Amino acid sequence: DMNFCSYRPALYRNLTDVSVSARPTADIISTVEFNHSGELLATGDKGGRVVIFQQETENKSQSQWRSEYNVYSTFQSHEPEFDYLKSLEIEEKINKIRWLPQKNAAQFLLSTNDKTIKLWKISERDKRPEGYNLKEEDGRYRDAATITTLRVPVFRPMDLMVEASPRRVFANAHTYHINSISVNSDNETYLSADDLRINLWHLEITDRSFNIVDIKPANMEELTEVITAAEFHPHQCNTFVYSSSKGTIRLCDMRASALCDKHSKLFEEPEDPSNRSFFSEIISSISDVKFSHNGRYMMTRDYLSVKIWDLNMENRPVETYQVHEYLRSKLCSLYENDCIFDKFECCWNGNDSVVMTGSYNNFFRMLDRSQRRDVTLEASRESCKPRQVLKPRRVCAGGKRKKDEISVDSLDFNKKILHTAWHPQENIIAVATTNNLYIFQEKVN
Amino acid sequence: MDVEAKRIMALSISKLYSLRTQRGGLCLHRSLLLSMTMRAARDIYHTAQLLRDAEEEQVVPCAPDAAIEEPMEISKDSPQTLTPKEVAMKHQEPKETVEDDKENQCASERHSRKRRSKTAIEPDFLPLKKAKMDTDEEKQHLQGEVLRTNNGNSCRQAETLTAFPTNRAVVAC
């Protein structure tokens, strides 16, 4: 049987109780990201909030590692804004969060909405000065006449307080909607990409950015493709890739020229003519691109499949995995209910042997590259009792439905998993359904 | 077949228009995908219309061939019957033969009775008025896709929006 890894929930957190929430749609999770050590997990939501979870490990008596992720910090990153010039509202939804590698005691992350990127510093405070000479404990100044001795304040322990403060605001550089941010391996620069342009920033400089890719045509009526995602290479600080709505990926080298409109490599697979339909354009649009940790491969996600590309081979991917091929015959209905436009993300595990992506009905897929196996799992309250191993799920595409299979027509297309993340070192995964976050951990026997 | 194309065209246009009222401003990516799909459907629809009209107009000697080898063959012969301007409009030929094959059950006899006129070619669901508060880019982009139904070679006004039934049974493609 294909049960190559068993997961059990470590944390189940219901982020929305519609009956009490004042703004039910604001709690929809829009991005999930582990930091570089995996100790912290950040989520962003439609309401502009960032919630950070911290891993607490404890050694159980049965010698089973059990991780728990508890809320570490919550803050409002972005607020809704109004562009008066264009009469447009700017959504506060957090599109992406990216962590900076840790340099000192504080943690830093970049969070972005459609127009503005912010650098946040998250720091701990576990002591505070007490015993001021001139002030009372509540801050009021003491009467000068009563001060007869010199008292030097000392630091005393206090309850841990986690503070988030905005250190930089990178604004006004994007005409179109930002879809990606990516921190460079040089730890000094990062890129931000919108539909038509990619800008390069220095983390210390907010009033200037360099435009490195511009695919806007002189005449907008000639527009045929947009940028859908962009990422820096994990080790080569001069290299980045960007994907397009036409299913192509371009790799660019910043050493070649200041403006990287000309790609160094173009990754494109010829279309299969037998699959042509009205919706071929839409389903070939790439929704996510991610480099492997070792930097030798990249993975792309389009509507129906996940493709692994070798950076040295441009004409076709080295591996292709069908995520939910049974949807190919339903594209018309999915166009009608707008599901065909859903942008699924994908992620690698720590050693690049397994990739993961989401699907509908709160299903998510794990594709094992080394063992050529795949499994469909479900993230839902009903199927996730604490410490229970997740059961593989099967979708029946047609014909006779076997026991425990679910038919395509019974799938709930409102329950979609767009965002998933994998701990950089351990087999711990974070899966976001519409408004709930699930964290699963591999069961160690 | 063109019934499906017409439906997808109408669906695409209504989605394009509802995009403008969405919070956060126009989504360029989605409007691009919608207009591409709308154009593909429109091309199929127009080609099918033109073929039916061409079929009516055919001289007697050719008629038996055209009549006997119904929709599928006609679409294969289409490059010869279309004018160069109209050839430029359709860029999905291989797909059409496959699609026509599948969907040739629709009653084309019904349409062949129709008198050929310019109004027959135009879809009957384009709005008369465009919203005023467009940005330049939006306007250029959408004008190009939605109102330019005859390659910009004539300046006729778009038809008024008529009720178009969209709540049909879903046909899986």
Q: What is the C-alpha to C-alpha distance for residues A412 and A393, in angstroms, rounded to an integer? A: 14
Distances from the Cα of A94 to the Cα of A90, A434, B51, angstroms: 11, 14, 50
Instruction: Write the ipTM.
Output: 0.88
User: Who wins on pLDDT, B168 or B140?
Assistant: B140
pLDDT in tens, A108-167: 999 999 999 999 999 999 999 988 888 888 888 888 888 888 989 999 999 999 999 999
The stretch A228-235 carries a mean pLDDT of: 98
Specify the pLDDT at position B87.
36
Specify the pLDDT at position B25.
83
The stretch A195-211 carries a mean pLDDT of: 97
Among A287, A431, A305, CA closest to A345: A287
Q: What is the C-alpha to C-alpha distance for residues A179 and A91, in angstroms, rounded to an integer? A: 13
Choose the weakest-confidence range: A35-39, A69-73, A285-289, A318-322: A69-73
Secondary structure element (H or E) that encloses residue A66, with its range:
strand A65-76
Specify the pLDDT at position B54.
85
pLDDT in tens, A5-40: 445 554 444 444 434 445 567 889 999 999 999 999
To 5 degrees, how large is the angle CA A384–CA A386–CA A388? 70
Distances from the Cα of A400 to the Cα of A285, A392, A403, A406, angstroms: 33, 19, 10, 11
Distance from CA of B27 to the nearest CA of A (A): 7
Choose the weakest-confidence range: A10-19, A244-253, A352-361, B37-46: A10-19
Average pLDDT, chain A: 90
pLDDT in tens, A405-434: 999 999 999 999 999 999 999 888 999 998
To 5 degrees, how large is the angle CA A201–CA A202–CA A205? 105
Among A197, A227, A379, A236, CA closest to A288: A227
Which residues on chain A are in Cβ contact (under 8 Å) with B6?
none
How confident is residue B3, by pLDDT bands cut at 50, 70 and 90?
confident
Q: Flag whether residue A285 sits within 8 Å of chain B, measured between CB atoms.
A: yes
pLDDT in tens, B72-82: 433 344 344 43
Which residues on chain A are in Cβ contact (under 8 Å) with B37?
278-279, 281-282, 335
Q: Taking the model in full, what pTM does it have?
A: 0.77
Reply yes or no on whether the pLDDT at A444 is more than 90.
no
B140: nearest CB among A176, A220, A285: A220
Residues in contact with B42: Cβ distance below 8 Å, sequence separation at least 6, in sequence order: B5, B9, B123, B149
Strand arrangement of the beta sheet that strand A354-358 belongs to: A346-348, A354-358, A363-368, A373-378
Mutual angle of helices B28-57 and B2-20, in 10-degree steps: 150
Chain B, residues 20-79, CB within 8 A of chain A, namely: 23-25, 27-30, 32-33, 36-37, 40-41
Paired with A69 in beta bridges are A55
The stretch B89-117 carries a mean pLDDT of: 41
Q: Flag whether residue A93 sits within 8 Å of chain B, measured between CB atoms.
A: yes
CB-CB neighbours of A334 under 10 Å: 22
